[in-house]
Structure 1
Amino acid sequence: MSAQGLAYGPIGDRSVHLCVDMQRLFAEPSQWATPWISRVLPVIETIVDRHRRETVFTRFLPAQRPGQGVGTWKRYYERWASMTIETIGPEMIELLPSLARYCPPAIVVDKHVYSPWPEGKLQAHLAARGVDTVIVTGGETDVCVLATVLGAIDLGYRVVLVTDALCSSSDATHDALLTVYHQRFGQQVETVEMETLLSNWP
């Protein structure tokens, strides 16, 4: 079973809040709209406001045009031609305005795939800061958050998931992923709600 609550103690001073893909293209009407974003946004804003300097936002950057990409990503952007940057406009990749106002001191790391780890920028930043714990919020629970969490586990980070600050466009797979975290990743993943997090993170 997983560690529900902070089973491994309070959050230390080598921790970062990693907020995944809270962007306009997922919040505004589109084929990738995630209605839950409006529900979790106030929770995420509260965390960021308390820990501005410890926050790193990731942004998912779609292909520039349909059919662009390597391997299956080429097919992906043929299917999702309507979500390429030349169609939606570059402004849609921006963070939601209520979060963007925290940058700086919060920083932004861009990525072109689900996971923020392969391109190396995020890991370099965390290593330079001596980070040992990542606190994960954002969306989607079953896609980019999943990729973020699994990569963090592989790199040896303590992972704290803030369950009331995660969103998905699918209730069923959101719930299924929380069950997987609870039952299969107990040594690496702890799950808490925002109030518990903040009361244990000075």
Structure 2
Amino acid sequence: MILPKAVVEPVAHAVHLCVDMQNIFARGNIWETPWMERVLPTIAGICERYTARTVFTRFITPLHAEDRPGRWQRYFTKWERATRSRLPAGQLDLVPALARFAPPAAVIDKPGYSAFVGSPLAALLGEKGVGTVVVTGAETDVCVLATVLDAVDLGFRVVIVEDALCSSSDAGHDALMTMYRNRFAEQIELVRAEQLPELWREVA
């Protein structure tokens, strides 16, 4: 069954929020996300058009597992080689294809999955008068999910560029796309990258 195209309102007072497109998730690294190379040109195209309105997030791991509270200690004990005491230099940096946009694009570091927890992101968006976040990045069913649901709770309109997300799980990605369409239609819209320039005309 072919679903009808949703009617999407024009996008304004927005930022492009690009989640965790970092070297640690690139090919050959410990949290390799196989789709990243496939979506990277699409994300780079969005960054090029909306450079000054782009905000990159970076997931910053702790120096040692015990530096994080509660169950994060268990997580980073399992993934000790992802702690900063073990990671090779540059693993938490943005991938080179996107790093070239910052500045003027902003970079926000975060300690957990959501871009809004333990970071200045909400304050930054408030200062800029942002009402809409246009979301791309990694991973669909982890950090993007946490970020999107917090954005919804904070009252932002969320526009997800569905062909500019990547995950290491096809099943997880597909499940989230279905959930967004069926459960969050009043707060979350899905668009394709090719639609974005027509919907979001402000570039300054």
Same fold, TM-score > 0.5, yes or no: yes
Query: Contact 2:108/2:119 (CA < 8 Å) preserved in 1?
Result: no
After superposition, give the CA deviation of every residue in 1:164-202 in whole Å (9 maximum; x if it has no partner). 000000001110111111110010000010001122211
Distance in 2 between residues matched to 1:7 and 1:115, nearest whole Å: 28
Q: Secondary structure at the match of 1:87?
A: coil
Shift of 1:6: 6.2
Question: 2:10 corresponds to which residue?
Answer: 10
> Does the 8 A contact of 1:67 with 1:81 survive in 2?
no
**Alignment-derived partner of residue 112 in structure 2:** 113
Gaps of 5+ in 1: none
- Residue matched to 1:152: 151
Indicate how the Cα distance of structure 1 residues 110 and 134 shifts in structure 2: closer, same or farther if over 3 A, else same: same
**Aligned residues of 2:109 and 2:119 also touching (Cα < 8 A):** no
- Structure 1 distance, partners of 2:142, 2:123, is 23
- Compared with structure 1, are the counterparts of its residues 66 and 120 closer, same or farther at alpha carbon in structure 2 (3 Å cutoff)? closer
Which whole-Å CA distance do the structure 2 matches of 1:149 and 1:5 have between them? Answer: 21
User: Which residue identity does 1:24 align to in structure 2?
Assistant: N
Structure 2 counterparts to residues 94-173 of structure 1, below 5 A: 94-173=93-172
Q: Distance in 2 between matches of 1:5 and 1:190?
A: 11
Once the two structures are aligned, what percentage of the paired residues are identical? 50
Q: Which amino acid in 2 is paired with 1:195? A: E
Report the Cα distance in structure 2 between the residues aligned to 1:38 and 1:10, rounded to whole angstroms: 29
State which drifts further: 88-97 or 123-132. 88-97
Q: Name the TM-score, length of structure 1 as normaliser.
A: 0.94
Which of 1 and 2 has higher RCO (CA within 8 Å, sep 6+)? 1
Q: Distance in 2 between matches of 1:121 and 1:6?
A: 33
Structure 2 unmatched runs, 5+ = none
Cα distance in 1 for partners of 2:119, 2:80 equals 27
Contact 1:7 1:190 in 2 (8 A): no
Offset at residue 31 of structure 1 (A): 3.0
CA distances 1:100-122 after superposition (whole Å, capped 9, x unpaired): 11111100000010011122400
Task: Report the number of matched residues.
Answer: 199
Quickly say closer, same or farther: Cα 1:105–1:5, change in 2 above 3 A.
farther
CA RMSD of aligned residues (A): 1.5
3-state SS in 1 of match to 2:155: coil
